[in-house]
Amino acid sequence: MKILFLSDNFPPEVNAPAIRTYEHCARWVQQGADVTVITCQPNFPRGKIYDGYKNKLYQKEIIDGIRVIRVWSFIAPNSGFFKRIVDFLSYAVMAFFVGLFQSCDVIVGTSPQFFTAVAARMLSIFKWKPWVMEVRDLWPESIVAVGALKKSSLAYKFLTKVEHHLYRSADRIIPVTNAFRKYMLDKGIDVDKIKVITNGVDSKKFQAGKKDQVLLKSLGLQDKFVIGYLGTHGMAHALDFVVETATKMNDDNIHFVLQGDGSEKLKLQDKVKSLGLKNLTFLPFVSKDVIRSYISILDVALVNLKKSDTFKTVIPSKIFENACMQKPILLGVEGESKEIIEKYGAGICYEPENRKSLMSAIEKVSRIEVYRQYQSGCINLSADFDRNKLADQMLNIIKTVKDKTRNK
């Protein structure tokens, strides 16, 4: 079976969409599928092309058996609504034209951003092939949630119409949360075409072990209780709230670490500098190959989003990687994510953007008697969200789409 997969993020980028797409596709290749991914040049989150790559019109490479085609796109940082839209559109147009010349049985388009899904839909029309829409975020609802778009705007109304058309036209929809599924059902989408495949973790890559003492010593954190957020520093993540919480901590043994990059990082660094904080350290963006070392130095993993009804529907993928390495989760996300953490006893949940709630959670999780219980919960959680099992489930769904179309 030949699968054509459209995703504007792919390794060496290390954000959740890139890793999910890569790990699924690599697994499908192992299972005998012929997989082609059309993506752009790696540039997330800084909007700068990685060393060793150039923004060429067309470039091919093979990564673990996956045929990867990189197309030209307008490169923009992860900030500024208009520039990002141009970035997304340029990739979608290029992916569509290049996709016309790729042999396939099924087309998969992943969202966000949903212009990728638009390109997949157009390819399905021109190539007379079935298509599967993977939904990792709700557009345009998530844009509204971070304040970049108003529901009263014409843009919102237009994007909502496009969103509904994509849902109706897809042969299968694969959302990453049950809350997304409910959202689609409320929109009148056929229940039989929606199949949930959550995010997960490659347990072989994120095995628990001892802390990286060399890294810990280099940061001067050997005797600290380290609370770490590892990921994108964007508008949705409300990390300014974490900085404000750090200013109120009276325990010198507790130290915050914010690792990664994104549109809000410079503002956050300026704020920490102006406040003269000594209990918070910024760490640079690193490749996926070494991220395990950074997770290893944590005592607790912080997962935080803005307080918004829209974010009640998401499940941040960093939950699974941290849990797999037995790092109890401090979760500032409501909804389905909270249900998972509480079900497995893998950490403590606090009210998003509520400083007193977070401080209380920190005080509780640092107690040794409950810390071990949360680690046990992490083991059980990660076992149930194994990436290979989830990838196999998604491949079976894609096969049914191909077989159903062939038998028409």
Torsion of CA 22, 317, 389, 13, to 10 degrees: 10
Looking at the domain assignment, is residue 304 inside a domain? Answer: yes
Residue 111: its pLDDT value, please?
84
The Cα 327–Cα 298 span in angstroms is 7
Contact assessment for residue 347 and residue 329, using Cβ atoms and an 8 Å cutoff? yes
Give the three-class secondary structure for 66.
strand
Residue 146: its pLDDT value, please?
64
Looking at the domain assignment, is residue 54 inside a domain? Answer: yes
The Cα 392–Cα 360 span in angstroms is 40
Looking at the domain assignment, is residue 356 inside a domain? Answer: yes
DSSP 108: E
The strand pairing partners of 107, in sequence order, are 4, 131
Looking at the domain assignment, is residue 56 inside a domain? Answer: yes
Residues 283 and 337 in one domain: yes
Task: Report how far Cα 258 is from the mean position of its chain's Cα atoms.
Answer: 17
Looking at the domain assignment, is residue 206 inside a domain? Answer: no
Residues 258 and 304 in one domain: yes
Looking at the domain assignment, is residue 333 inside a domain? Answer: yes
Which residues form the domain of 20? 2-200+386-403
Contact assessment for residue 313 and residue 138, using Cβ atoms and an 8 Å cutoff? yes
Residues 217 and 312 in one domain: yes
Residues 228 and 330 in one domain: yes
Looking at the domain assignment, is residue 174 inside a domain? Answer: yes
Residues 190 and 245 in one domain: no
Residues 127 and 258 in one domain: no
Residues 379 and 319 in one domain: yes
| Backbone φ and ψ of 350, nearest 5° | -130, 160
Number of structural domains found in the chain: 2
Count of residues for the chain?
A: 408
Residues 184 and 252 in one domain: no
| Backbone φ and ψ of 111, nearest 5° | -135, 135
pLDDT tens-digit profile of 66-78? 999 999 999 876 6
pLDDT tens-digit profile of 199-218? 999 999 999 999 999 999 99
Long-range contacts of 366-375 (CB under 8 A, 24+ apart): 366/225, 366/254, 366/299, 366/300, 371/299, 371/328, 373/345, 374/328, 374/329, 374/345, 374/346, 374/347, 374/348, 375/326, 375/328
Contact assessment for residue 347 and residue 324, using Cβ atoms and an 8 Å cutoff? no
The Cα 50–Cα 62 span in angstroms is 17
Ranges of residues in the chain with a pLDDT under 50 are: none
| Backbone φ and ψ of 4, nearest 5° | -105, 115
Residues 196 and 258 in one domain: no
Domain containing 221 — which CATH number? 3.40.50.2000
Residues 18 and 135 in one domain: yes
Residue 154: its pLDDT value, please?
84
Residues 273 and 152 in one domain: no
Residues 87 and 165 in one domain: yes
Looking at the domain assignment, is residue 253 inside a domain? Answer: yes
Residue 153: its pLDDT value, please?
85
